[in-house]
Amino acid sequence: MGVYSKIAKLIKRDYIIFTKQHRRTYHAIPFLDLYEKATGDIVSKDRLSILVRKHPNIDTLSNESLQFTLGILNKFGITTLEACKHPHVFVMNPITLDNYGEILKECGFVNILPNHIIKYHTLVRSRTIAFLKKEGLIKADLNLEEVLYDYFPELPAMCRSLENFPDSTTSILIVRMSVLEKYLKWRLSVTSEEFQRYCRNYLPLKHKPMSDIKEALTIAEDNIMFSKDEIRRNGFIISTDPIKSKLIIDNVKSLAGMDIRQVIRTEPAILKNNYNALLQIRDLLEEYRISDEAQRRCLKVYCMKPQTVKERLEDLINMKEYQILSTNPRVLSMVVHKRKMIKRLSKIKLTKKQCYSLNHLVSSNNVFNNYITSFGNRVCGRDISILINTSLIVDNNKSNTSIKKSNSTESLKATLNQLKKHKYWLHSALSVIDENIQYLKLKFDNKTILEHCQLLLYPISEIKYYVEILLEKRNGLHPDAHLDASYNNLKFSALSDQHILSLVLYEIEKKYHFSGDGVWTNQDGIKLDSKAVN
């Protein structure tokens, strides 16, 4: 039995050696491979479940993500083995991880360990400088104010007055904010009230390394060409990630037909996004044929997540309201304010109002409440003219872009002038006008319809009735079909398309004594109590 026992032990030993040397990613969890390689320990299923419970998503991290985190930690002298013994560092945001490590480094930490980064907030906010010195985390003779001022060598001596905070009652955060406030007062003429507001509203500012803040301001002023006043008005620029800003400038040369720097100056919040997201959104807008002009009118769309933009465009593309307004230069405001717009559409339908404009769907609550609680229906004249012109565009000069733009502007004005001659031109719903356009385009060319654009204000049933009769009479059919006016000497076969549409308009308005009242349908709407609209 002794021999068999000895053989069994040898087999067991060889098996353990073999499994350690030929370990595979059988569990398909890269962190476990990294952990086992660094520590030599095998993680059981029970231990894995504890790890996942303590450090959510650690089992879903890719090998690339793990290596990226290790690269950051290596900057602070943290080895793979040390990192694996503190798995929480792998589930932290990499930018946050880097910021915390850099701040501890700036503040003179003798050694930076994974546990220091994990407990960063406790160390910089809740622990006094005296405590950190006693624990040996920073040197006993270190003057934190002087150390931090060294990161701003350009700061004049007259602005470097020491506050001489007592170590026994002062935290790292208090000293850092004191030094930073003096620097921003000198560089941007920031007031104490503004600085406090930045700290309150832009929380990353408190936990950004001094070197990053300095670099972010240099990029903002010297590269993007922000003025000091613009940076002060958009305080978040101070705490932007300089690496992300550089990547945007280097990889996204233009958006909406504009230089990326001009785009950022127009919509500074774009700096909060990353360059990959901006490129994805640009491709999406191109796919959905959103014009550069429409993008310029609503650059906020580039502050969103690409997936959100994609989902909203997919939802909106099937909505009749979006289809009608899709050629409007402000159409992207429907994407940015989709939730608000959907909510308002339901209230508009509840009140049976039909003459709403794009502005009603995305405007301030006061504007919308005034519209929804008032009697009557009015639409935005510009929305009407844009819908008509973009649906019936007539352009014989396809080679010259500048001429096309000029013609478009002139055509828009001409359409507006023609519509304004009608007493009630602002009281026809966009949906009615769009339906009329689609119907008339089946029978007449765009130019002819555009010349009779007042006809588009009338109910489709009226237009259809007279169009069908007059076209049939021109073709010699139904000569006895009833018309309100008498045309005893009229030769119907000689009527042109222009004549037909003029006669349709004449027939509709004749029974209303040419008052313009022919546009009205049963769409008066219901008045809501303003308190019910939020």
Torsion angle of the four alpha carbons 519, 525, 527, 531, in this order, in degrees rounded to the nearest 10:
-120
Indicate the pLDDT class of residue 520, thresholds 50, 70 and 90. Answer: confident
- Give the lowest-confidence range in 108-117, 296-305, 484-493, 507-516: 484-493
Beta bridge partners of 109: 138
pLDDT at 19: 47
pLDDT at 398: 40
Instruction: Please state, in angstroms and as integers, the Cα–Cα distance from residue 276 to each residue in 106, 270, 460, following that order.
Output: 31, 12, 47
Q: How is residue 320 written in tokens?
A: 């009749």
How many Cβ atoms are within 10 Å of 318's Cβ, its own excluded?
Answer: 8
Residue 449 has pLDDT above 70, yes or no: yes
Residue 18 has pLDDT above 60, yes or no: no
pLDDT at 480: 65
pLDDT digits (tens, 9 = 90+) for 86-105: 999 999 999 999 999 999 99
Of 366-375, 455-464, 469-478, give the range with the top mean pLDDT.
455-464
Q: What is the mean pLDDT of the chain?
A: 87
pLDDT at 370: 86
- The answer to whether 266 touches 298, Cβ cutoff 8 Å, is no
Percent of the chain with pLDDT over 90: 66
Calpha distance 110→186 (Å, rounded): 31
Q: How is residue 261 written in tokens?
A: 């720097």
pLDDT at 519: 81
Indicate the pLDDT class of residue 477, thresholds 50, 70 and 90. Answer: confident
The model's pTM is: 0.82
pLDDT digits (tens, 9 = 90+) for 136-164: 999 999 999 999 999 999 999 999 999 99
Indicate the pLDDT class of residue 531, thresholds 50, 70 and 90. Answer: very low
- Give the lowest-confidence range in 184-198, 218-232, 470-484: 470-484
pLDDT at 376: 62
pLDDT at 32: 92
Indicate the pLDDT class of residue 530, thresholds 50, 70 and 90. Answer: very low
DSSP state of 392: S
Indicate the pLDDT class of residue 231, thresholds 50, 70 and 90. Answer: very high
How many Cβ atoms are within 10 Å of 473's Cβ, its own excluded?
Answer: 21
In residues, how long is the chain? Answer: 534
Residue 482 has pLDDT above 80, yes or no: no
> Helical H runs in 392-455?
401-420, 430-440, 446-451
Q: How is residue 384 written in tokens?
A: 């009407």
Q: How is residue 489 written in tokens?
A: 């000497």
Greater pLDDT, 354 or 168: 168
- The answer to whether 526 touches 355, Cβ cutoff 8 Å, is no
Q: What is the mean pLDDT of residues 340-356?
A: 89
pLDDT at 499: 93
Greater pLDDT, 362 or 525: 362
Instruction: Please state, in angstroms and as integers, the Cα–Cα distance from residue 70 to each residue in 96, 243, 307, following that order.
Output: 14, 18, 29
pLDDT digits (tens, 9 = 90+) for 20-69: 444 444 458 899 999 999 999 888 888 888 999 999 999 999 999 999 99
Contacts for 233 with CB less than 8 Å, ≥ 6 apart: none
Calpha distance 384→387 (Å, rounded): 5
Calpha distance 74→92 (Å, rounded): 15
Torsion angle of the four alpha carbons 255, 308, 223, 76, in this order, in degrees rounded to the nearest 10:
-150
- CA proximity to 209, closest of 95, 376, 86: 95
Amino acid type, 141: D
Calpha distance 42→40 (Å, rounded): 7
pLDDT digits (tens, 9 = 90+) for 288-335: 999 999 999 999 999 999 999 999 999 999 999 999 998 899 999 999
Q: What is the mean pLDDT of residues 231-257?
A: 96
Residue 281 has pLDDT above 80, yes or no: yes
Phi, psi of 109 (to 5 degrees): -60, 130
pLDDT at 397: 41
pLDDT at 156: 95
Greater pLDDT, 406 or 391: 391
pLDDT at 143: 96
Indicate the pLDDT class of residue 121, thresholds 50, 70 and 90. Answer: very high
Chain Cα centroid distance, residue 262: 17
- Give the lowest-confidence range in 250-264, 390-404, 435-449: 390-404
